[in-house]
Structures are given as structure tokens and as C-alpha cells.
Amino acid sequence: MRDIDCKKITETISSLFQEACLRLPEDVLEAITQARDKEESPAARDALDKILENSEIASSEMIPLCQDTGIAVVMLELGQEVHITGGDLYRAINEGVSRGYSDGYLRKSMVNQPFSARVNTGDNTPAVIHTEIVSGDKLKITVMPKGAGSENMTRLGMLSPAQGRQGVIDFVVKAVDEAGSNPCPPVIIGIGIGGTSEKALLLAKKALLRKVGQPSPDKESSELEQEILKRVNNLGIGPVGYGGRTTALAAHIETFPAHIAGLPVAVNLQCHSARHKEAVL
């Protein structure tokens, strides 16, 4: 067994959220730059230039990339040889979120009683935490400040097996088309196929964490990714929705076996401010 202290987890969560909100991952910046160079529409090129300029200002002047610093999504890969000491794991994570959002001047966007009073919790807790138990003696922490503009455009389709591959393509393209300019394109399209409803949704979210445009290792899935990306970029929505060639930077598919009676498809969109950061303890 290897001990990991809760204090260390709190500190790590706090600094990961602060850093994630100020600096885009290199692969995201590269994908946006490439889109800018390929874009035909002058309005779209101008918007992409401003998005790139925004990221420079954010990191140099310590102003968050986006005012929506998100709901705090935390993904854990917890080695089964790890022993958490000095407190409660989830409490340590929420303490890290509270501290990070306060120290980093990030926006507190969480409200209690969502369908009635909607009172702000004041520190952006609670985090949404997904834990996977894996082999080994490490703890991998991925933080993802997820903005609501893109999260609100999530779609779940419990397709019939007869709808097959074409049904999946049509469902995803329709989801992106209907979302239009709302999710802050160019987006990354996370697609989860298979399992149960919640499994498909979680796969879709995890797919967003892949390096932008890195194809699925499964050949059939990677071909489907390319086909969906092409169809989506024919929609013409374009960067920030002003019309153009780049509606999505990439489509990422994750799959899981399905029930004989089902074909769940989940679409989770990520805005161009594709913030996430990870650490291994």
C-alpha cells in the first residue's frame, strides 16, 4: 500500500483548476491555429484570431480564459494499492475546489435547490466526481471546468439497433446542428456509444479529454469519427456561429458493448475553451 495524504489532494485540485482556467492545453491551441489558417470566412478568421489573442491575455494577465469557469468536474483513476490518509477523499476534493475557485478569482456558478430557490453555494462546490478503481499505487486526477453553454447542448439518444451506424451519424449531426452557436464553436464532439444511458454519457465526457483530433485506436470508430467530423463541418455554423468551415475541431468516439435491444448514443460538446488539466500523485 502507498499512502497519499488528503492535504496533498486538496492542494493539487486547487492548483489544477486555477491553471486550467488560465491556460489552454497546447493541442487545443494548435487545433485552433490550424482551423484559423484553413478558414475561408473572414468573420470566422477574425473570431479565431480573437480567441487566440484571448488565450494570450488570459495567461499573461491572469484573467480567466472564460467567465464561465464551469462546474467542477473531477475524474479520478484511483490505484487499488493506494491508501488515502488524513481525511475523507471527496471532502478533500471539495476543499480543493473551494480553495481553488477562491484563490484563483474564478466564478462561483453552483446553486442549491436547482428547480426552486437556486441559492449560490458560494464556493463552486460540490464538484461532480467520477472515480474509477484501477491497478497500481498511483492516483491520477483530471480536472475539467465544464462551462454550461456547451454542457446544456448535451443529447442522449436511446437508438434502436436497426438504426445502426447511419442512425448514430444522423443523431450526432442533428445534435450539433440544433446546438448552433450556443456551445461556442468550434467544438470538440464527445460521443459515447453503448452501455446504458449513464454509461454512454460518461464515455462521451471522457472522450473530450483525448488529445484533440487523436483518432480512436479502433479502426471502425476512427472512420466514423472522420465521417461525423466531415458532416458536421458541412453544417456551415462555423467559429462562434458566424458561418464558416470549422464547426468542430474533432469528433472523439468511445464505445462500450450494448444490450441486444439497445444502441445508446450520447453527445457531449466541449466549447473551444477546452480546459482540462491532470496530475498523477
Q: Which residues bind other proteins (CB under 8 A)?
A: 40-41, 43, 46-47, 50-51, 53-55, 57-58, 61-69, 105-109, 118, 120, 122, 148-149, 152, 173, 177, 180-182, 184, 231, 234-238, 240-245, 271-273
Smallest separation (angstroms) from other proteins to the CB of 50: 5
Which one, 85 or 234, has the nearer CB to other proteins?
A: 234
The torsion region of residue 124 among left (phi > 0), alpha (psi -120 to 50) and beta comes to left
By C-beta, is 63 or 281 nearer to other proteins? Answer: 63
Nearer to other proteins, 49 or 278 (CB): 49
110 closest CA partner among 120, 100, 95, 97: 120
Distance separating alpha carbons of residues 175 and 171, to the nearest angstrom = 6
Residue 53 or 220: the one with the smaller Cβ distance to other proteins is: 53
Select 102 or 197, whichever has its Cβ closest to other proteins: 102
Question: How far is the C-alpha of 248 from the C-alpha of 251, rounded, in Å?
Answer: 7
